[in-house]
């Protein structure tokens, strides 16, 4: 079940809200016509390090966002390879990103090359209709 998280300032007037639920349930809340989305993988800094994102639920959530993106829409994913359990998630996210059709999506990976366990950024852009295909 989901519940709203109390915030210091109400976010609703700006069209923003927080949801307490697994990211692989995004389709319950996500409307079509998304222009941009950000995913932060791994665990909550300062939180319980045993609570981590998992390969199966992460790829499911990323795919749900992708299906909701408008042409020209963007998805940014911060990937953390340094925690326990990260290897499998990194491999799954990389395989998912590599499988995206180049005619429909541009995929960029930005990484610090001299620090093996440093977080890296995956950026996915749905190509505009006039450039797709």
pLDDT of residue 1: 38
pLDDT of residue 2: 44
**pLDDT tens-digit series, residues 47-97:** 888 888 999 999 999 999 999 999 999 999 999 998 888 999 999 999 999
pTM: 0.83
Contact criterion met (CB below 8 Å) for 52 and 83: yes
| % of the chain surpassing 90 pLDDT | 58
Where do the domains of the chain lie, and which CATH numbers do they carry?
27-126 (3.40.50.150)
| 6-10, 62-66, 107-111: segment of lowest average pLDDT | 6-10
Phi, psi of 51 (to 5 degrees): -95, 100
Q: Nearest-CA neighbor of 107 among 127, 79, 80?
A: 127
Q: Nearest-CA neighbor of 128 among 76, 73, 65?
A: 73
pLDDT at 3 over 50: no
Stronger pLDDT, 12 or 124, i.e. the higher one: 124
């Amino acid at each position: 079940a989901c519940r709203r998280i109390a915030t210091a300032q109400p976010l609703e007037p700006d069209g923003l809200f927080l949801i307490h639920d697994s990211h692989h349930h995004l389709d319950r809340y996500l409307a079509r016509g998304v222009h941009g989305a950000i995913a932060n993988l791994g665990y909550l800094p300062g939180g319980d390090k045993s609570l981590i994102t998992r390969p199966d639920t992460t790829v499911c959530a990323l795919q749900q966002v992708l299906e909701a993106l408008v042409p020209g829409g963007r998805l940014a994913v911060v990937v953390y390879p340094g925690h326990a359990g990260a290897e499998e998630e990194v491999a799954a996210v990389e395989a998912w990103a590599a499988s995206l059709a180049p005619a429909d999506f541009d995929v960029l990976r930005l990484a610090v090359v001299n620090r093996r366990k440093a977080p890296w950024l995956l950026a996915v852009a749905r190509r505009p209709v006039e450039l797709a295909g």
